[in-house]
Chains A and B, each alone.
Chain A
């Protein structure tokens, strides 16, 4: 084996390009290019599987496709039907409430925990993992099932309330509480923004704090005037990512309600309704149109955020 084989392909390619000229190098350069493309192959294939359905769904959004027979072009009928669909409005309401309540709370919690962990605790790695773990599992079926048990009538939460003589509500089956239970679940999975906050906090030069301490600034003042502005790009990034993720929530609602969006449509997330339309009601055309509406909603909210960011995100160049 040549030395090159032991290097990462990117580095190898860079070396080969830099070296160029000599015959032996040339052949290995071609080989490296080939292996470079080979490495890229999965990405190209992946893109193929994204781009084709992407355009297919755009086309299907304007048809009455029912999964079984050939789609017929129906123009804007699907989009018009959306305005008269009460369940669609309900699913939008559920998704918006979920997003606008859980995203700010989970970002605040993530920042708070990151600030605490940033103070150089002993066993930091362990804490970081412990807090991060729920994020990895948050959208998984097992965790949602676990959540159902925790908040069930005979679950830990109501058992705990029972100690104080409080009869806890039916967290999972009462339409008044089912969505709140899922919001709590989402807040609990604050780990991934937290890890990013932690990385951001590490970037803030300590000399600012030293200078501020000398000037007699309180901790709160330091946080407001140094930390917040300097990590505002990180907050912005987390906000955008959480917002997009939250708009696309599916698993939690699906598993919690057994696929129905119940009780009484209180956890009928937009994507869950889209899924029902496509796969249980066989209205794939309508479902595709819904997907495009979601894309537009996400695009609009992201654009608003980018515009608003000019007023509060501070880049320290």
Chain B
């Protein structure tokens, strides 16, 4: 190429070729962490989320860089779907990020294939303050492959403006049963003349049946990473929504369209449903979107069923790639993310309640009313005697997809809850650990 550069002709060609080459180089090396000269280490850090989360994370990273001269952090974020795909490709291509967000349903898959580092083998990560129950959610075969980014639970939110106008009392969430919730939801629909549906939760997301199964004394995923939920429980989970729909408390088939998942796009914000199940770290977002009169409640059935449905559930995990070129620095970043008060002061409860209780306490004064409510609820629930929860098995993503698919079939009456439950167990068991 240099030779031709001396002739007058191909200036543009050179430019074009250079651009092409640069493009190739860029696409080939995008995100690669390479040790640059001058002792400066660049870490590649990836996570999923929206721009708001990114803003808070960037602020925390800045604090980290100030505290750790010589380390720069290059971060990337995406929506969870594309994130999962891109992560798989990067690991497959031998180009993993140093520090990454790991989904509960993918942890075992990645860990057992040797792609993640044992966090206990990295002395930079201080685990003294991290409760054992929380650590256990990232443990596979006695090694620690992921640390929860925070604790998060699902909860019920009710729009009090709507229930007040309809003249419906919100039941006591410390004692309410699933039956109470159905009665409440149906009453809201009736008293609003069918304009607003009392219930609006998502049947197809696994967090619902996971909690429901625990309440009925079953583990959705068991200690030895199998499917532990019974056909009966899945059948009743589906049947409950069918009955609630028939009674009028739940919207008709096809009502829910998932166009974007943000609180602002929710039916709660549109005011067409009066209640919804949400991951409660989003309480503030939903409350702001829905006009500021939402009430945060515990899930129904917590005291009326066999046992509690809540557990110490991580919202997601932090992991380090086994092939990270800078494991020491990567470990420092993970340690910062879970143990550093100044870092947590930037991210607050964006990824759930910090798993280090000291950090959680330290950020409490900085939280607004809604976030305080959420943290207090998590704290109150964690004080109770909760059943254990386990790492998701391999193939958990197929289980999630199967649930989604069958929920639609049931919704449109194409399959009965009983048949759906049977199919769910068959397909899930076939997909797990194969």
Chain A contacts to B: CB under 8 angstroms: 1-2, 4-5, 31-32, 34-35, 38-39, 41-42, 45, 66-69, 145, 148-149, 152-153, 169-170, 172-176, 258-260, 262-265, 276, 279-282, 284
> A69 to B322, alpha carbons, bound, how many Å?
13
CB distance from B136 to the nearest CB of A (A): 24
CB distance from B116 to the nearest CB of A (A): 10
Contact partner of B4 (CB less than 8 A), chosen from A1, A35, A67, A174, is: A35
Chain B contacts to A: CB under 8 angstroms: 1, 3-4, 7-10, 13-14, 16-17, 20, 24, 81, 84-85, 88-89, 91-92, 109-110, 113-115, 253-259, 395, 397-398, 401, 404-406, 408-409, 412, 414, 431
Residues of A within 8 A of B258 (CB): 258
> A46 to B16, alpha carbons, bound, how many Å?
15
Task: Considering the complex, give the chain A residue whose CB is closest to the CB of B395.
Answer: A281
> A306 to B10, alpha carbons, bound, how many Å?
43
Are B92 and A148 interface neighbours, CB within 8 A?
A: no
Residues of B within 8 A of A41 (CB): 17, 20
Which among A1, A2, A5, A145 has the highest number of chain B CB atoms within 10 Å? A5
Contact partner of A264 (CB less than 8 A), chosen from B20, B24, B414, is: B414
Are B254 and A260 interface neighbours, CB within 8 A?
A: no
Residues of A within 8 A of B414 (CB): 175, 264
Are B9 and A35 interface neighbours, CB within 8 A?
A: yes
> Which applies to chain A's interface (DSSP): helix, strand, loop or mixed?
loop
Are B405 and A265 interface neighbours, CB within 8 A?
A: yes
Residues of A within 8 A of B256 (CB): 173
Residues of A within 8 A of B3 (CB): 34
Residues of A within 8 A of B84 (CB): 279-280
Task: Considering the complex, give the chain A residue whose CB is closest to the CB of B406.
Answer: A264
Are A262 and B405 interface neighbours, CB within 8 A?
A: yes
CB distance from A251 to the nearest CB of B (A): 13
Residues of B within 8 A of A68 (CB): 91-92, 110, 113-115
Are A148 and B259 interface neighbours, CB within 8 A?
A: yes
Could you count the A-B residue pairs with CB atoms below 8 Å apart for me: how many are there?
108
Are B13 and A35 interface neighbours, CB within 8 A?
A: yes
CB distance from A269 to the nearest CB of B (A): 15
Q: Knowing A31-B4, A31-B9 are in contact, say whether A262-B408 is a contact too (CB < 8 A).
A: yes
Are B405 and A260 interface neighbours, CB within 8 A?
A: yes
CB distance from A253 to the nearest CB of B (A): 14
Are B398 and A281 interface neighbours, CB within 8 A?
A: yes
> A67 to B85, alpha carbons, bound, how many Å?
11
> A47 to B112, alpha carbons, bound, how many Å?
36
Residues of A within 8 A of B7 (CB): 31
17 A-B contacts (beta carbon < 8 Å): A1-B8, A2-B8, A5-B9, A38-B4, A38-B10, A42-B17, A68-B113, A68-B114, A69-B113, A152-B259, A153-B254, A175-B414, A264-B412, A281-B397, A281-B431, A282-B109, A284-B92
Residues of B within 8 A of A32 (CB): 9
Are B88 and A67 interface neighbours, CB within 8 A?
A: yes
Residues of B within 8 A of A280 (CB): 84-85, 88, 397, 401
Counting from the closest, the 10 A-B pairs by CB-CB distance are A170-B254, A67-B92, A68-B113, A264-B408, A263-B408, A173-B254, A279-B85, A174-B254, A35-B10, A264-B409
> A301 to B59, alpha carbons, bound, how many Å?
56
CB distance from A16 to the nearest CB of B (A): 11
CB distance from A198 to the nearest CB of B (A): 33
> A265 to B1, alpha carbons, bound, how many Å?
52
Q: Knowing A67-B92, A69-B113, A280-B85 are in contact, say whether A45-B20 is a contact too (CB < 8 A).
A: yes
> A149 to B431, alpha carbons, bound, how many Å?
34
